[in-house]
Structure 1
Amino acid sequence: MRKKRKKSLFRRINDWLHLWLGLLSGIVVFVVCLTAAIWVFRDEVAYFTKPFNRIEAQDIPFSPPSVLKRKAGEYLENEFENNPVLLLNLTYRGPDRTAYAGYIDNTANVYMGYLHLNPYTGQVVHNELFAESNTRKFFLFIRAGHRFFWLPPHIGSPIVGTSCIIFLVTLITGLIWWYPKKWNRTTRNKSFKIKWNAKWKRLNIDLHNVLGFYVLLFAFILTYTGVYYSFTWFRDSYHYVLGAEDRTAFNNTRKTSPVLQKKQTSGNPIDMIWEALYYDEGKQDGDLSLSFPADSISPIAITYNPVPDKYYRAHTRYFDPYTLKEINTARGFSSRQSNIPFEELSAGEKTVRMNFDIHVGTIGGLPTKILACIASLIGASLPVTGFIIWYNRKWGKRRHKSG
């Protein structure tokens, strides 16, 4: 009888690391992956649970921001008579979507909700109070599990980040463990096919090994882009390697907007800037968000996103409220919404900007969302099937003999 060939020291160390690192991080990885699979479809769930986002499109122009702001202010003043609130921003969306204004409790400085308005008439459609939104509460709960393991952020974030780094190592060691010493028909079948009619223990091993191989690249990308949000040192290193260093300070150099230089500043500056961007520059597709200045000297910030479900294309511009001149600002690559158009960024800077969309699966729309969901579900299954393999090998045979 032929003796079974002993594994090399490298393979023994690799297998040991895969086993114990997997057991160490398993429960956190399971929660992170499972919550990711749910959270990826938050927009689709909101579409069905928040019908007030939609209105009937009309063949008339939108009301300017000053009108919507005034009507929103009147409504909030009546609604929260004894609790003053402050409007922070206003977002115009497509012709069949409500515009919404974000507001905070001006005393406690807490974000309270969105006031949805008909962009054509300014009529209030719905007051979406965050404290009363079950959809929002549910996905905040899911996100808290995904980002912090339902612990305080300063504790949970490092735990999740460390577990994800360990998961990256187990993916690599798992690939080495999976890779057969010789390629033949038998090893190919074992490596790439699941034997569905096998006994449950064999099936469990196939589910772990085969599905783990097929999902490895996607799981690695989703995990790597997620560690970015857990550790500053990881984020800074990522920026440095890609040539996308964080520079967020204002630059006082100013330039005149070609469209706005023709306009007079006697009217409402926000209305004039919005009209120039929305109509003259053709920013009617996508989302156009206006942040109301905190005081009379602060610049007016306007963010335009041509593809609302992809954050990396959002572009923020700043304008002087008196001269309507556009203010140049330095680049801030740690934010999803930068003041530099995506097309003008270097390849490394574009990669950083796309990190969030890659991580949550929105980068390619619904197909990549589905792919991210499937990859996350398989990722959640790996600690479970891996634990069962380990348990069966350690105690399964012993229990079988004693029975």
Structure 2
Amino acid sequence: MLTATKRRSPKEKKSGFRKVSEWLHLWLGLTSGIIVFIVCFTGGIWVWRYEVWRFTEKHWYVQAQQKPYLPPSELLARSRVYFKTQHITNDTLTSIKYWKAGRSVTLNFTLPEQQQAEIYLNPYTGEILKDQREQSAADNFFIFIRAGHRFLWLPRNIGSPVVGSACIIFVITIITGLIWWYPKRWTKKIVKDSFTVKWRAKWKRLNIDIHNVIGFYSVLFVLALTLSGIFFTFEWFQQGTYKVLTWKALDEEHLDPRSDTTATIAKFNHPEDFIWNKLSRKHDGRFGSISINIPDKPSAAYEATVYFGDGTLLYNRAVHFFDQKTLRELPPLGQHDQPYANLSTGEKMFRMNFDIHTGQILGLPTKILAFLACMIGASMPVTGFIIWYNRKWGRKIKKRQV
């Protein structure tokens, strides 16, 4: 990623450690460059998915009003009246999702012949805003971008380890690049060359400065995104990260509480209303979204997840389980579902990984940082290849011309 700019005198000898570092930086960078470019470039695009959806998915948004939302039972009734106009009488509700003021509410259904429907409604009036049966053009675009970022558009079992391995190589390349960049002598001229981009220089010199100087300034951000990305590929890395942060083993088994199957009579006619009312009152005006999953088995429980912030952050959430018949609240069993406020500092950092990796952690400022880090990361293999090509072949071509 980083390459030294100063020329060494003929008498100046490199240490064996430096020679090995430079060799690793060069050849690991050349072998993994194309993959690193694709992963970083697609990652930079994927950062802005919610901003793009804001313009393309108009049915996501409604005019905020100073009145309460309609309860789930009313929205469900409106949806089923709509389905009757479409000659659909056999539907199964699978989930309901409310958002903060200004967003539409979503009801997901399974229809006959395994068809899925996502119904968007105005939470204040119950008006049907959209019946979405297939992915939109914007959805398909970002699915394509994510497939390139995670799997290089290959089957998951092949592409995921290839991307993860390339990210590990990229980490080694970054570290060896820092070793190569580190000035051996801290003279005034060398310091200036190492920390300043000569924007008015010729393109070859400018390319070297972009690779070295901008690479140096962005190294911490690029490393953070790369390491947090390896987390999603290798289970051993995820386990090791958790152990380093918490000094505990990660509970791999994801267990959900079970409903009491001995109870035969439901206590409430509209359990979704009870859950919605309880959670909306508990988190009055402080939630980003509330999602209620409908149980599909007699032993399954209602699972309701409250997301805070803007509703897209995954780390700051509270998961609630309710018995299917009695609606008694059940305690979460796994580490994954524990309330964020009850976690230790290490566990909180572990849960933040996805939001750090996508730049969502602090909103727009960190999204901009993540985008710039991705674009700089994508440029490193390109500028590095140009440096190598010019040093290996550029002088020969110049001599032939002369």
**Could you say whether these structures have the same fold, taking a TM-score greater than 0.5 normalized by the shorter chain as the test?**
yes
Aligned match of 1:62: 69
Q: Which ranges in structure 1 are unaligned for 5 or more consecutive residues?
A: 255-263, 334-338
Q: Does 1:248 align with 2:250?
A: no
Percent identical residues? 44
Aligned match of 1:261: none
Q: Greater RCO between the two (CA within 8 Å, min separation 6)?
A: 2
Q: TM-score, normalised by structure 2?
A: 0.90
Instruction: Indicate conservation of the 8 Å contact 1:194/1:210, yes or no.
Output: yes
Aligned match of 2:370: 372
Q: Structure 1 residue 101: deviation in Å?
A: 1.5
Q: Does 1:309 align with 2:312?
A: yes
**Compared with structure 1, are the counterparts of its residues 141 and 105 closer, same or farther at alpha carbon in structure 2 (3 Å cutoff)?**
farther
Instruction: Find the residue that maps to 1:362 and give its secondary structure.
Output: coil
Instruction: Indicate conservation of the 8 Å contact 2:164/2:230, yes or no.
Output: yes
**Compared with structure 1, are the counterparts of its residues 183 and 106 closer, same or farther at alpha carbon in structure 2 (3 Å cutoff)?**
farther
Aligned counterparts of 2:9 and 2:95: Cα–Cα separation in 1: 75
Q: Does 1:40 align with 2:47?
A: yes
Aligned counterparts of 1:205 and 1:283: Cα–Cα separation in 2: 52
Q: Which of the residues 375, 389, 392 maps onto 1:391?
A: 389
Q: Which ranges in structure 2 are unaligned for 5 or more consecutive residues?
A: 1-7, 261-265
Deviations 1:241-281 (A, max 9, x none): 22351252246799xxxxxxxxx934422211211111255
Instruction: Indicate conservation of the 8 Å contact 2:218/2:373, yes or no.
Output: yes
| Displacement over 6 Å in runs of 4+ | none
Instruction: Indicate conservation of the 8 Å contact 2:257/2:300, yes or no.
Output: no
Q: Does 1:97 align with 2:103?
A: yes
Deviations 1:183-202 (A, max 9, x none): 12111111111111111111
Instruction: Indicate conservation of the 8 Å contact 2:288/2:312, yes or no.
Output: no
Instruction: Indicate conservation of the 8 Å contact 1:252/1:328, yes or no.
Output: no
Q: Does 1:218 align with 2:221?
A: yes
Instruction: Find the residue that maps to 1:361 and give its secondary structure.
Output: coil
Instruction: Find the residue that maps to 2:201 and give its secondary structure.
Output: coil
Q: Bigger shift: 117-126 or 6-15?
A: 117-126
Q: Structure 1 residue 129: deviation in Å?
A: 3.3
Aligned match of 2:125: 121
Aligned match of 2:203: 200
**Compared with structure 1, are the counterparts of its residues 274 and 152 closer, same or farther at alpha carbon in structure 2 (3 Å cutoff)?**
same
**Compared with structure 1, are the counterparts of its residues 230 and 91 closer, same or farther at alpha carbon in structure 2 (3 Å cutoff)?**
same
Instruction: Indicate conservation of the 8 Å contact 1:130/1:136, yes or no.
Output: no
For residues 111-150 of structure 1, the aligned pairs below 5 Å read: 112-131=116-135, 133-150=136-153
Q: TM-score, normalised by structure 1?
A: 0.90
Give the letter aligned to residue 358 of structure 1.
Answer: I
Q: Structure 1 residue 81: deviation in Å?
A: 3.7
Give the letter aligned to residue 302 of structure 1.
Answer: A
Give the letter aligned to residue 30 of structure 1.
Answer: F
Aligned match of 1:382: 380
Q: Bigger shift: 2-11 or 14-23?
A: 2-11
Aligned match of 1:151: 154
Aligned counterparts of 1:85 and 1:149: Cα–Cα separation in 2: 37
Aligned counterparts of 1:38 and 1:351: Cα–Cα separation in 2: 25
Aligned counterparts of 1:147 and 1:80: Cα–Cα separation in 2: 40
**Compared with structure 1, are the counterparts of its residues 113 and 201 closer, same or farther at alpha carbon in structure 2 (3 Å cutoff)?**
farther
Aligned match of 2:236: 233
Q: Structure 1 residue 125: deviation in Å?
A: 0.8
How many positions carry a matched residue from both structures?
385
Aligned counterparts of 1:104 and 1:345: Cα–Cα separation in 2: 36
Instruction: Find the residue that maps to 2:190 and give its secondary structure.
Output: helix
Deviations 1:67-98 (A, max 9, x none): 2123223434544749x654311111122211
Deviations 1:185-236 (A, max 9, x none): 1111111111111111111110100011011000000000000111122112
Instruction: Find the residue that maps to 1:329 and give its secondary structure.
Output: coil
Instruction: Find the residue that maps to 1:311 and give its secondary structure.
Output: coil
Q: Structure 1 residue 351: deviation in Å?
A: 1.2
Aligned counterparts of 1:296 and 1:222: Cα–Cα separation in 2: 42
Give the letter aligned to residue 392 of structure 2.
Answer: K
Instruction: Indicate conservation of the 8 Å contact 1:73/1:87, yes or no.
Output: no
Aligned counterparts of 1:302 and 1:284: Cα–Cα separation in 2: 16
Aligned match of 2:263: none
Aligned counterparts of 1:266 and 1:349: Cα–Cα separation in 2: 37
**Compared with structure 1, are the counterparts of its residues 172 and 127 closer, same or farther at alpha carbon in structure 2 (3 Å cutoff)?**
same
Aligned counterparts of 1:375 and 1:17: Cα–Cα separation in 2: 23
Instruction: Find the residue that maps to 1:21 and give its secondary structure.
Output: helix
Aligned counterparts of 2:236 and 2:276: Cα–Cα separation in 1: 39
Give the letter aligned to residue 265 of structure 1.
Answer: K
Deviations 1:114-173 (A, max 9, x none): 211011232211123333x01001101110110001111111101100000000000000
